[in-house]
Amino acid sequence: EDQVTQSPEALRLQEGESSSLNCSYTVSGLRGLFWYRQDPGKGPEFLFTLYSAGEEKEKERLKATLTKKESFLHITAPKPEDSATYLCAVQAGAAGNKLTFGGGTRVLVKP
């Protein structure tokens, strides 16, 4: 069974204080690893897809990296508007097209 574990569960940062979120996964045949951002009361908003170990993608202050066992979401010099829950999900070969999500990391950036 595909498993995704995110850590930490919650993260409080001062504005400008860089940090990293971890997503560990156990799957049979990774087809893609997805990062989403979710604001309170909203649906998940797509950020990145990573397909193979060593791949990196960037968007503004966010950078996602992938290894064979985990992915990191690095937040560089965060601003209060980066406060959200960040969700990691995997799409695995045996499971068809569905995404299996982790529990998310709630990030709060204080000014």
Partner 1 sequence: GAGVSQSPRYKVAKRGQDVALRCDPISGHVSLFWYQQALGQGPEFLTYFQNEAQLDKSGLPSDRFFAERPEGSVSTLKIQRTQQEDSAVYLCASSPSSGNTIYFGEGSWLTVV
- Which of 43, 68, 81, 111 is the binder for partner 1 (CB under 8 A)? 43
Q: Is 42 a residue that touches partner 1 (CB under 8 A)? A: yes
Beta bridge partners of 93: none
Q: Is 79 a residue that touches partner 1 (CB under 8 A)? A: no
- Which of 20, 98, 108, 110 is the binder for partner 1 (CB under 8 A)? 98
Task: Report DSSP letters for 4-66, one per residue.
Answer: EEEE-SEEEEETT--EEEEEEEE-SSEEEEEEEEE-TTS--EEEEEE-STT-EEEETTEEEEE
Q: Is 40 a residue that touches partner 1 (CB under 8 A)? A: no
Q: How many residues of this chain bind partner 1 (CB under 8 A)? A: 25
Cα–Cα distance measured from residue 9 to residue 108, given in angstroms and rounded to the nearest whole number = 11
Q: Is 45 a residue that touches partner 1 (CB under 8 A)? A: yes
Q: Smallest distance from the beta carbon of 16 to partner 1, in angstroms? A: 27
